[in-house]
Structure 1
Amino acid sequence: MSPSHRGGKVVVIGAGIIGVCAANALVDEGFSVEVVDPLEPGSPGQCSYGNAGGLSPGSCIPNSMPGIAGQVPGMLLDPDGPIGLRLLDLPHALPWLLRFLANSRLSRVRRISDGMIALNRLTLACYEPLVKEAGCEDLILHRGQLFAYENPNGPAGSALSIGMRRERGVKVEILDDRQMRELEPAISPDYRAGVFLPEQGQCPNPGRLVAAIAKLAAAKGSVFTRRNVRSLVVEQGRVKGVATEGGVIAADKVVIAAGAFSSPFARQVGVCVPLISERGYHIMLPHADTGLKVNVNAAERKFVAAPMEGGLRLSGTVEFARPEAKPNWRRADILLRQAAHMFPGADLRGMERWMGNRPGTPDSIPVLETAPRHDNVILAFGHGHQGLMGGSVTGRLVAELATGRPPSIDLSHFRSSRF
Structure 2
Amino acid sequence: MANFDTDIAVVGAGIVGVACALQLARQGKRVLLLDRQAPGHGASWGNAGHLATEQVFPIADLSILKRLPSMLMDPMGPLRLDWKYLPRALPWFTRLLLNLRPVPFGRSVAGIRALNEGSLGAWQRLLGCIGRLDLLREDGSLLVFERPESRVALQALCGRMQQQGVAVDGWSAQQVREAAPQLSEALQGGLFFPRTGHFIDPYRVVNALFEAALAAGVQFSSREVTGGRLQGDGVCLASSQGQVRARQVLVACGAHSATLVKALTGKAVPLDTERGYHLMLPAEHGRLPFAVTSLERKFIMTPMTDGLRLAGTVEFAGLDAPPSMQRAWQLHRLSQGMFKQDLNADGATPWMGFRPSLPDSLPVIDRVADGRVLLAFGHQHLGLTQAALTGEWVGRLAGGGDCAGAYRLDRF
TM bracket (short chain): over 0.9
Unaligned runs of 5+ in 1: 1-7
Alpha carbons 1:370, 1:379 under 8 Å: kept: yes
* CA displacement at 1:153 relative to structure 2: 4.5
Which residue number in structure 1 is paired with residue 350 of structure 2?
353
* CA displacement at 1:16 relative to structure 2: 0.4
Is 1:256 equivalent to 2:251 in the alignment?
Answer: yes
What are the equivalent positions in structure 2 for 1:372-387 lying under 5 Å apart? 373-387=369-383
Judging changes above 3 Å, is the alpha-carbon distance between structure 1 residues 73 and 107 closer, same or farther for their aligned structure 2 residues? farther
TM-score, normalized by length of structure 1? 0.92
Which residue number in structure 2 is paired with residue 119 of structure 1?
115
* CA displacement at 1:234 relative to structure 2: 2.9
Is 1:203 equivalent to 2:199 in the alignment?
Answer: yes
Alpha carbons 1:279, 1:321 under 8 Å: kept: yes
Which residue number in structure 2 is paired with residue 19 of structure 1?
17
C-alpha separation in 2, matches of 1:406 and 1:416: 13
What are the equivalent positions in structure 2 for 1:127-142 lying under 5 Å apart? 127-142=123-138
**Matched position secondary structure for 2:137:** coil
C-alpha separation in 1, matches of 2:236 and 2:137: 39
Residue type matched to 1:10 in 2? Answer: I
Deviations 1:134-180 (A, max 9, x none): 23211111111111111234242145542332123221111222122
C-alpha separation in 1, matches of 2:19 and 2:286: 33
* CA displacement at 1:290 relative to structure 2: 4.8
What are the equivalent positions in structure 2 for 1:231-250 lying under 5 Å apart? 231-235=227-231, 239-250=234-245
Which residue number in structure 2 is paired with residue 59 of structure 1?
55
Judging changes above 3 Å, is the alpha-carbon distance between structure 1 residues 298 and 75 closer, same or farther for their aligned structure 2 residues? farther
Deviations 1:312-351 (A, max 9, x none): 1011111111212211111112112012232333322111
Judging changes above 3 Å, is the alpha-carbon distance between structure 1 residues 73 and 104 closer, same or farther for their aligned structure 2 residues? farther
C-alpha separation in 2, matches of 1:108 and 1:62: 11
**Matched position secondary structure for 1:252:** strand
**Matched position secondary structure for 1:215:** helix
Judging changes above 3 Å, is the alpha-carbon distance between structure 1 residues 195 and 215 closer, same or farther for their aligned structure 2 residues? same
Residue type matched to 1:260 in 2? Answer: A
2:211 equivalent among 205, 212, 215: 215
Is 1:103 equivalent to 2:99 in the alignment?
Answer: yes
* CA displacement at 1:88 relative to structure 2: 1.8
Unaligned runs of 5+ in 2: 1-5
Which residue number in structure 2 is paired with residue 29 of structure 1?
27
RMSD between superposed Cα atoms in Å: 1.8
**Matched position secondary structure for 2:39:** coil
Alpha carbons 1:303, 1:317 under 8 Å: kept: yes
Deviations 1:92-117 (A, max 9, x none): 22221222233223433222111011
C-alpha separation in 2, matches of 1:404 and 1:287: 50
Alpha carbons 1:281, 1:353 under 8 Å: kept: yes
What are the equivalent positions in structure 2 for 1:171-182 lying under 5 Å apart? 171-182=167-178
Residue type matched to 1:353 in 2? Answer: P
C-alpha separation in 1, matches of 2:214 and 2:285: 36
C-alpha separation in 2, matches of 1:92 and 1:374: 33
Judging changes above 3 Å, is the alpha-carbon distance between structure 1 residues 204 and 76 closer, same or farther for their aligned structure 2 residues? farther
* CA displacement at 1:406 relative to structure 2: 4.7
Alpha carbons 1:285, 1:313 under 8 Å: kept: yes
C-alpha separation in 2, matches of 1:353 and 1:99: 32
Judging changes above 3 Å, is the alpha-carbon distance between structure 1 residues 297 and 111 closer, same or farther for their aligned structure 2 residues? same
Which residue number in structure 2 is paired with residue 368 of structure 1?
365
* CA displacement at 1:389 relative to structure 2: 0.5
Alpha carbons 1:145, 1:296 under 8 Å: kept: yes
Alpha carbons 1:368, 1:380 under 8 Å: kept: yes
* CA displacement at 1:392 relative to structure 2: 0.3
Alpha carbons 2:45, 2:202 under 8 Å: kept: yes
C-alpha separation in 1, matches of 2:379 and 2:298: 19
Greater shift, 163-172 or 346-355, is seen at 163-172
Alpha carbons 2:371, 2:398 under 8 Å: kept: no
C-alpha separation in 1, matches of 2:260 and 2:375: 9
* CA displacement at 1:263 relative to structure 2: 0.2
C-alpha separation in 1, matches of 2:398 and 2:111: 21
Alpha carbons 1:76, 1:83 under 8 Å: kept: no
